[in-house]
Amino acid sequence: MSDVSWIDAVLTSARAQAVAALLRYFRDLDIAEEAFQEACLRALKSWPKNGPPRDAAAWLIMVGKNAAIDSVRRQRREAPLPQEEEISDLSDVEASTVERIDEADYRDDILRLLFVCCHPELPATQQIALALRIVSGLSTRQIARAFLVSDDAMEQRITRAKARVAKANVPFEAPSAADRSERLAAVAAMLYLLFNEGYTAGASAQGSRAALCDEAIRLSRLLLRLFPTEPEIMALTALLLLQHARARARYDEEGLVVLLEEQDRQLWDQKSIAEGLALIDKAVRHRRPGPYQVQAAIAALHARAQHPRDTDWGEIELLYGALERMQPSPVVTLNRAVAAAKVRGPEPALAMIEPLAAKLDGYFYFHGARGAFLFELGRSEEARVAFNRAIALANTPAEAAYIRHQLDRLAQPLP
């Protein structure tokens, strides 16, 4: 068999569009998915011989639609089986569909497909699992591996999520402008979760979970191509690219977390940074600030600094202040305090985070940052208590190892 890896790339890139249109026709996730599956099988048979169609998505939609209708008929045994030649004769399929499906339909179809995965009743992990299954087309096994659970557990999780979505009455009429922006916000949040799922995975899981970051970026670009004038979607894409640019520098050879300030900046991916900076640049020209723009602007300030000492911490503190006003949260305040510590020292920073103790008591980073401030202030015993608390709350072995390293530094007599 000849090399068909190009077909994989074409199928992956057409998937969201095709499944989204099939969902509109059949209004059922399982039927849409099976129809797409069947279309892919036929593509694998037909494309190596005939070459790729001009519009792969339109081909897959038409073939998938026909196949699903055939299969329904076959099950009902109402109509005689059509000849295989008839089904496979697809030469005219393309031209006719391309004209009928216009760009705006595609746009709302794909947004709807992404949106069904973010139903507010679905917990975050189910949203992401469902998006990876339905939108990205990852196998249950691949998703299970990324989440470090068994195949059966993941299968159940996805089945449960689909059942909830089926009950939830997905709206199929064309969305109003307000609905559309609400859907966009929900989808953006889900893509950010998906990215973070890969980003926080730790070095040991780099392979399967780092792929989640790539997928989040791919879907975010796709969304931006559909909504090219949305500054928050530009900024989300920028934010993901700027964070992901540091991927190679974030862990050392032993899998230990390397803090931003200690990273080898030569390892940062300059191409991703260039794209991220170009996008945030575009976004701010709209003068419609939003939380993703602020976060991307913060990431951009880090990316622009050739050396940690060049980092504009004063500006970063101001940006976290802006983010606090848009989306008040103790975690944002914690981040502002970390920036403040760089500008004004650990004492005011410690004062800023003490009131958060009750809310962030179960949060790894709170105790890690608090330990670091106390350590800088020479309050070693309190620092040790804070670091021990952080270790107990670490989400990954890499986080725990990082704090253990801090404890070792505490144990060393000061020079």
CA distance 20 to 61: 9
Cα 373–300–238 angle (5° rounding)? Answer: 125
Q: Is 168 in the site for another protein (CB under 8 A)?
A: no
Applying CB under 8 A, which of residues 69, 222, 249, 385 lies at the interface with another protein?
A: 222
Identity of the residue, 45 or 54, whose beta carbon is nearer to another protein in the bound complex: 54
Select the residue interacting with another protein from 72, 95, 163, 274 (CB under 8 A): 274
DSSP 46-88: HHHHH---SSHHHHHHHHHHHHHHHHHHHHHT-SPPPPHHHHH
66/136 with CB nearer another protein: 136
In the complex, the smallest distance separating the C-beta of residue 5 from another protein, rounded to whole angstroms, is: 8
- Decide: 185 and 167 in contact? Cβ < 8 Å: no
Minimal distance, residue 13 CB to another protein, in Å = 4
Main-chain phi, psi angles of 251, to 5 degrees = -130, 145
- Residues 122 and 176: their CA atoms lie apart, in Å, by 23
Under the binding rule (CB under 8 A), the answer on residue 282 touching another protein is: yes
CB of 11 to another protein, least distance (A): 9
Task: Tell me the site size for another protein, rule CB under 8 A.
Answer: 24
13 is an interface residue for another protein by CB under 8 A: yes
Work out whether 300 is an interface residue with another protein (CB under 8 A): no
Question: Taking Cα atoms as reference points, which of 164, 105, 106, 107 lies closest to residue 130?
Answer: 164
285 binds another protein (CB under 8 A): yes
Largest CA distance in the chain: 88
- Stretch of 7-15, 60-68, 73-81, 124-132 contacting another protein, by CB under 8 A: 7-15
Q: Report d(CA 270, CA 324) in Å as an integer.
A: 30
Least separation in angstroms between CB 84 and another protein: 29
Find the binder of another protein among 1, 9, 358, 411 (CB under 8 A): 9
- Residue 169 to residue 116: CA distance in whole angstroms: 9
The first and second tokens of residue 284, run together, are: 């701010």
Residues with Cβ within 8 Å of residue 128, at least 6 apart in sequence: 117, 190, 193, 194, 197
The answer to whether residue 229 forms part of the interface with another protein (CB under 8 A) is: yes
x/- letters, 31..50, toward another protein (CB under 8 A) = --------------------
- Is there binding between residue 237 and another protein (CB under 8 A)? yes
259 is an interface residue for another protein by CB under 8 A: no
Terminus-to-terminus CA distance in the chain, angstroms? 67
Judged by CB under 8 A, the chain residues 101 through 140 that form the site for another protein are: none
Q: In whole angstroms, how close is the CB of 220 to another protein at the nearest point?
A: 9
Report the C-alpha gap between 132 and 157 in whole angstroms. Answer: 12
Q: Which of 158, 196, 219, 245 lies closest to 12, judged by CA?
A: 219
- Work out how close the CB of 91 gets to another protein at its nearest, in angstroms, rounded to a whole number: 21
Which of 197, 232, 275, 317 is close enough to bind another protein by CB under 8 A?
275
CA 312, chain centre distance (Å): 27
Going by C-beta distance under 8 Å and a sequence separation of 6 or more, which residues neighbour residue 281?
none
Q: Which of 21, 114, 144, 234 binds another protein (CB under 8 A)?
A: 234
**Residue 221 is a binding residue for another protein (CB under 8 A):** yes
Phi and psi at 165, nearest 5°, equal -65, -40
Least distance in angstroms from the C-beta of 217 to another protein: 9
Considering the complex, state which of residue 133 and residue 157 has its C-beta at the smaller distance from another protein. Answer: 133
Question: What is the closest distance, in whole angstroms, from the C-beta atom of residue 279 to another protein in the complex?
Answer: 6
DSSP 257: B
Looking only at residues 201 through 220 of this chain, which bind another protein when binding is defined by CB under 8 A?
214, 218
Cβ(180)–Cβ(111) below 8 Å: yes
Residues that bind another protein (CB under 8 A): 5, 9-10, 12-14, 214, 218, 221-222, 224-225, 228-229, 234, 237, 271, 274-275, 278-279, 281-282, 285
